[in-house]
């Protein structure tokens, strides 16, 4: 049987993060996916993450010379069996209805001769506005299939129709439009976790951390041996920055205390740069109180007892002694602090006996959760991660996924825990 192909157009909105899960579900059905992202969509989901999920180039620039030499927007509009816009914002729906083609996504939509499925997601007032309803009527008349949005809590705090349907429901509609048999056993690939089995799990809002203070540490620390050399580790800071970004997107007031990394500060995040473990401990205490603290940083276990002001020189008399002293345990001290966060989460980067070491660390540190991961491969500095959440209730394991997807899922888990008290 010939492989069915869809072209997924992702427009800008907080629901864009669900497009990654949709890609995963569609590919599990044996359907190939190619993605186009609008400029605003890249503010919510990175093209790198989308490229990892689709295993293909991600398109976004109308004026990519190589592609446009080959009339790329025409080829993209004709090569797929179905074009899906998910999420479809009020803005892109309005452009479609008016026949506007001012970027790659809308140019493809105007040039296509293939079926089009639009999956709207927007604020309830925008959905109910006369202009949006008029645009939807025009699109239906033009032959565009509109998948009705779900009702529920909005990212802005309002309630009503406008929420993006859950990815499995969207995947099923896509299969139906392609005449492709839908296998519901492939939508999850695993049994639902205890959290996901909760009746109200699907009703967690996209902005459920509004009003909460979240503290995140990220990256390595550098402990000086002399003015030139230092003790460090391979942490890139990417996972911690992704967690800070997800928390901010979900409405939290986020303080990010970062070791020496070269990463862009996520929008809406207060960033404090430090170098050493002692500096990080000091800034963590200054950032209290907080509702949640997520200690992602890979803090060096030791520092040099003495760090001279001048470079240590080789003198032909052998290796000079290096005396080490133990750095403070920031996580353990935070667990005993008078302003202890309501939810305290530590990270455990391990190379063996991952869960066993995490359980021991949970008991020793006095925190609420330990998030453990195997760093024996290329996790440190890589684009993906896989987690085991260890707490008093047991172990919850998540499969290897892009770090921003893992971050969003973790923060949804945090939001649910806070809501349960």
Element (H, E) at 416: helix 403-420
Count of other CB atoms within 10 angstroms of residue 142: 11
Distance CA 169, CA 151 (A): 14
Instruction: Name the one residue in this structure whose structure tokens are 């080959």.
Output: 70
φ and ψ of 148, to 5 deg: -60, 135
How far, in Å, CA of 168 to CA of 28, rounded?
A: 11
311 is in an annotated binding site: yes
Q: Is 330 marked as a binding-site residue?
A: yes
Residue 326 near residue 301 (C-beta atoms within 8 A): yes
Catalytic residue, chosen from 86, 156, 175, 367, is: 156
Is residue 328 annotated as involved in ligand binding?
A: yes
Determine if residue 63 is labeled as part of a ligand binding site. no
Q: Which two tokens stand for residue 260?
A: 């020496």
Virtual torsion, Cα 45, 49, 51, 52, nearest 10 deg: -160
b (16+ CB within 10 A) / e for 357-388: bbbebbeebebbbbbbbbbeeebbeebbbbbb
Q: Which residues pair with 8 in a beta bridge?
A: 35, 84
- d(C-alpha 123, C-alpha 267), whole Å: 21
Q: Verify whether residue 156 is a known catalytic residue.
A: yes
Strand segments, DSSP code E, in 238-356 are: 253-258, 269-273, 292-295, 302-304, 324-326, 343-350
Q: What whole-number distance in Å separates Cα of residue 176 and Cα of residue 179? A: 5
329: annotated binding-site residue? yes
**Structure-block tokens of residue 392:** 């008093």
Task: List for the chain the helix, strand, coil content (%; round to 5).
Answer: 35, 25, 40
Ligand-binding annotation for 31, yes or no, is no
DSSP state of 43: G
Residue numbers belonging to the annotated binding site: 301, 311, 328-331, 347, 361, 365
Residue numbers belonging to the annotated binding site for CTP: 301, 311, 328-331, 347, 361, 365
Tell me the catalytic residues: 156
């Amino acid at each position: 049987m010939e492989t069915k192909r869809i072209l997924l157009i992702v427009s800008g909105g907080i629901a864009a993060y669900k497009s990654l899960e949709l890609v995963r579900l569609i590919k599990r059905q044996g359907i190939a996916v190619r993605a186009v992202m609008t400029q605003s969509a890249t503010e919510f989901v990175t093209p790198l993450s989308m490229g990892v999920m689709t295993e293909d180039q991600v398109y976004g620039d109308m004026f990519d010379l190589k592609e446009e030499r080959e009339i790329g927007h025409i080829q993209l509009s004709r090569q797929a069996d179905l074009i899906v816009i998910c999420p479809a914002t009020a803005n892109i729906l309005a452009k479609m209805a008016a026949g506007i083609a001012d970027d790659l996504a809308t140019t493809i939509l105007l040039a296509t001769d293939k079926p089009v499925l639009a999956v709207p997601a927007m604020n309830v007032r925008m959905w109910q506005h006369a202009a949006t309803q008029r645009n939807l009527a025009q699109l239906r008349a033009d032959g565009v299939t509109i998948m009705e949005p779900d009702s529920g809590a909005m990212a802005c705090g309002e309630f009503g129709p406008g929420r993006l349907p859950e990815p499995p429901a969207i995947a099923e509609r896509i299969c139906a439009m392609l005449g492709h048999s839908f296998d519901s056993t492939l939508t999850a690939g695993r049994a639902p976790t205890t959290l996901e089995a909760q009746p109200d799990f699907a009703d967690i809002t996209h902005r459920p951390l509004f009003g909460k203070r979240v503290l995140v540490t990220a990256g390595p620390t550098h402990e000086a041996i002399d003015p030139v050399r230092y003790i460090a580790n391979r942490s890139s800071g990417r996972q911690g920055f992704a967690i800070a970004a997800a928390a901010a997107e979900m409405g939290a007031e986020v303080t990010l205390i970062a070791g020496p990394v070269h990463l862009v500060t996520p929008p809406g995040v207060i960033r404090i740069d430090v170098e050493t473990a002692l500096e990080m401990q000091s800034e963590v205490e200054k950032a209290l109180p907080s509702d949640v603290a997520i200690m992602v940083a890979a803090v060096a276990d030791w520092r040099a007892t003495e760090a001279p002001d001048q470079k240590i020189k080789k003198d032909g008399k052998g290796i000079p002694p290096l005396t080490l002293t133990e750095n403070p345990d920031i996580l353990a001290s935070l667990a005993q602090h008078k302003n202890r966060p309501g939810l305290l989460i530590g990270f455990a980067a391990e190379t063996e006996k991952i869960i066993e070491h995490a359980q021991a660390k949970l008991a020793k540190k006095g925190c609420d959760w330990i998030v453990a991961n195997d760093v024996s491969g290329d996790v440190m500095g890589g684009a993906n991660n896989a987690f085991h959440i260890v707490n008093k209730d047991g172990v919850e394991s998540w499969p290897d996924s892009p770090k921003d997807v893992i971050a969003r899922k973790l923060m949804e888990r945090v939001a649910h825990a806070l809501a349960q008290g």
